[in-house]
Amino acid sequence: MGDLNETIRDHYQAGVGEQGALLARLSAMIDQLEGPPSSQALAAVDQFHVGGLKATAELAKRVGVRPEMDVLDAGSGLGGPSRYLAETFGCRVIGIDLTPDYVAIAKLLAERTGLADKVGYRLGDLTQLPFEDACFDLVWTQHVVMNIRDRDGLYRELRRVLKPGGRLAFYDPIAADEKPEPFYPVPWAASAETSTLLTEDETVAALRGAGLKPVSFDDVTLEAMGWLIQQQAPVAQSPLNLGVVIGPRIGELVANFGRNLREGRVRLVMGVCEAV
pTM score of the predicted model: 0.94
Q: From start to end of the chain, where are the E strands?
A: 70-74, 92-97, 119-123, 136-142, 162-175, 212-219, 266-275
Is residue 155 exposed (0-12), middle (13-18) or buried (19+ Cβ within 10 Å)?
buried
Q: Rounded CA gap, 111 and 36, in Å?
A: 12
Q: What is the mean pLDDT of the chain?
A: 94
pLDDT tier at 235 (50, 70, 90 boundaries)?
very low
Pick the CATH number of 2-275 from 3.40.50.150, 1.10.10.10, 3.50.50.60, 3.40.50.970: 3.40.50.150
Q: Rounded CA gap, 101 and 160, in Å?
A: 27
Q: Rounded CA gap, 193 and 199, in Å?
A: 18
Q: Which helix (H) or strand (E) is 203 found in, with range?
A: helix 200-209
Provide the residue ranges of all domains of the chain, joining segments of one domain with +.
Answer: 2-275
Q: Rounded CA gap, 224 and 8, in Å?
A: 24
Flag whether pLDDT at 132 surpasses 80. Answer: yes
DSSP for 88-110? HH--EEEEEES-HHHHHHHHHHH
| All residues at 6 or more sequence positions from 20 whose CB lies less than 8 Å from its CB, including other chains | none
pLDDT tier at 236 (50, 70, 90 boundaries)?
very low
How confident is the model over 38-91, as pLDDT tens digits?
A: 999 999 999 999 999 999 999 999 999 999 999 999 999 999 999 999 999 999
Q: Taking the CA of residue 72 as centre, how many other CA atoms within 13 Å lie in the half-sphere pointing to its CB?
A: 30
Residue 270 bridge partners (DSSP): 171, 218
